[in-house]
Amino acid sequence: DQQVKQNSPSLSVQEGRISILNCDYTNSMFDYFLWYKKYPAEGPTFLISISSIKDKNEDGRFTVFLNKSAKHLSLHIVPSQPGDSAVYFCAASAVIDKLSFGAGTTVTVRA
Amino acid sequence: DAEITQSPRHKITETGRQVTLACHQTWNHNNMFWYRQDLGHGLRLIHYSYGVHDTNKGEVSDGYSVSRSNTEDLPLTLESAASSQTSVYFCASSEDNTGELFFGEGSRLTVL
């Protein structure tokens, strides 16, 4: 049973606008959450993370929000750029570095 | 530069054959992981290791085995390949307690 869910398989956004990716989890033991980005024929690369003691973490154009009561996190990309077109995976862990991943959301940034 | 490499990058094999996918990292990380990526499932953990001679089963470990004889390598073996094991396999490593995994470029395995 998948413990991390990304219910939107795809997202199309215009260049310069905001991209919002959503992720839900079911395991209340998860205490660390990450987003990974993946280009075709490459391995995933770490993008941004957040600990359960925080509700927001920002890194340049990327911001992750965590709502523990709703077991929900989101990734905001502002402004979206063509190079952001990729698959984004949400991940969570309760045990050291043992990550559970969502199914991924494919983001397409339109010029 | 330190890196993590997987080989082969592409492999076609027949049902019932034994297959080994290699993973080698030069970061001296203690933690190493094997995931498989399938459409609609994302990345699912197969096996992982927190150090030499330590191995643990992940959520989809049936039909797979790993061994950790040194820090750098974690080979993944399919004892008797099945068509359901056709997938893209990713190896990853991490420093202790960082939560951030470094992934290899993947190995695409097709079982006919």
The stretch B68-74 carries a mean pLDDT of: 97
Which residues are CB-neighbours of A19 under 8 A, at least 6 positions away? A11, A13, A75, A76, A77, A78, A80, A84, A107, A109
- Pick B106's closest partner by Cβ from A43, A46, A89: A43
Contacts with A77 (C-beta within 8 Å, 6 or more apart), sequence order: A18, A19, A20, A21, A61, A62, A84, A107
Which of B7, B24, B43 to probe by mutation at the A interface, max A CB count within 10 Å?
Answer: B43
pLDDT at res. A97: 78
Position A2 scores a pLDDT of 83
The alpha-carbon gap from A89 to the nearest alpha carbon of chain B, in Å, equals 8
- Which of B101, B107, B108 is the best mutation test for A, with the most CBs of A within 10 A? B101
Measure CB to CB from residue B43 to each of A46, A49, A101 and give the nearest one.
A101
Task: Tell me the average pLDDT across B13-21.
Answer: 97
Q: Mind listing the pLDDT tens digit for each residue in A67-107? A: 999 999 999 999 999 999 999 999 999 977 789 999 999 99
* pLDDT at residue B2 tops 90: no
Q: Is the pLDDT of residue B40 over 90?
A: no
Nearest CA in chain B to A50: B99
B28 confidence band (pLDDT: 50, 70, 90): very high
Hey, is the C-beta of A74 within 8 angstroms of any chain B C-beta?
A: no
User: With a CB-CB cutoff of 8 Å, which residues 2-31 of chain A face chain B?
Assistant: 2, 4, 6
Q: What is the pLDDT of residues A3-56, one digit of tens each?
A: 999 999 999 999 999 999 999 999 999 999 999 999 999 999 999 999 999 999
A44–B103 CB contact, under 8 Å: yes
Block residue for tokens 């190995």: B107
